[in-house]
Structure 1
């Protein structure tokens, strides 16, 4: 029978097990801190009044009322019944819209990295967090909206022209006794 070479294990000194567990705990805490620091910033969406139905998608045009404010409360923009493409907004606003529903009112907090970042824009300074009071009026798919517009144009042409065009000239009324 062959004997397997044995490697003798040295006994651990007193307190070594505690040091191993302490080192493991420190490694886990450092790893967790790095993971939290590397996490992308999140958009905060607080529902003030619940909406109904599905959420808008990237392909939708959304009609909203909004008031945009800086952290110090300064209003930098506001609009009513504005239609916007989700793709045409800042990343944080698009992410927030994707979490809303028709008829809902929301308080949206967008971190600077998902807004205008270190560049700023107009009255918005660089590295500014933004807060929006947002109301979603309606949203429609672009294809659905274009089809509806074409149907309205056809109906308008069938009724005698486009809006604002002159009406066709009417025939002169017949005068009694004239030929």
Structure 2
């Protein structure tokens, strides 16, 4: 067997240096783009909330909750100790629906702080669009389909509310009626 030698051309003077400079320039450009991309990703949603606060009709509370009154209700507002009957749709900033219910009974003080605050601003029959910053939602914790540090957006209708005492009295009446129905 014979080995065929292939002649190699010599590298031109300075070519290796230019190659290294080109590789370094590409690496720096890639690092710069990656850094710029990371700066635009704001996991806390601060950019969204800052822009949203400038929208017509959006009100920002001292806590940072933002809301927009779609339809004002009538009468008093629920308190933290009440049970509210609401219809709602919850979405993320990208529009992805993570929860919805046409009629859900919930303790006003048993939901995330931003939702509780918004319910206490509403009146029976009212409809609000609320924007809950992460600090008033789930914060840096994931919750089911909700990623950590998410701004939560809800369309909420306050259908009705009752005090816990009223709910307990109604339950007691139901038990009495059921008990009477069982004895002839």
Normalization by structure 2: what TM-score?
0.63
Cα distance in structure 1, aligned partners of 2:89 and 2:75: 24
Tell me if 1:110 matches 2:126: no
Map 1:44-59 → 2, pairs under 5 A: 44-59=66-81
* Cα root mean square deviation, aligned: 1.7
Over residues 54-99 of structure 1, what are the superposed CA-to-partner deviations in whole Å (9 max), with x where a residue is unaligned?
Answer: 0100110001000000001110110121100112111111111110
Alpha-carbon deviation of 1:40? 6.3
1:96 corresponds, among 98, 118, 121, to 118
Alpha-carbon deviation of 1:151? 1.6
Cα distance in structure 2, aligned partners of 1:99 and 1:121: 25
Tell me if 1:82 matches 2:107: no
Cα distance in structure 2, aligned partners of 1:42 and 1:119: 19
Structure 1: state its 5+ residue gaps: 1-38, 162-166, 169-179
Structure 2: state its 5+ residue gaps: 1-60
1:120 corresponds, among 142, 147, 166, to 142
Structure number with the higher helix fraction is 2
1:14 alignment counterpart = none
Q: Is the 8 A contact 1:47 1:106 kept in 2?
A: yes
SS in 2 for 1:61: strand
Cα distance in structure 2, aligned partners of 1:81 and 1:128: 24
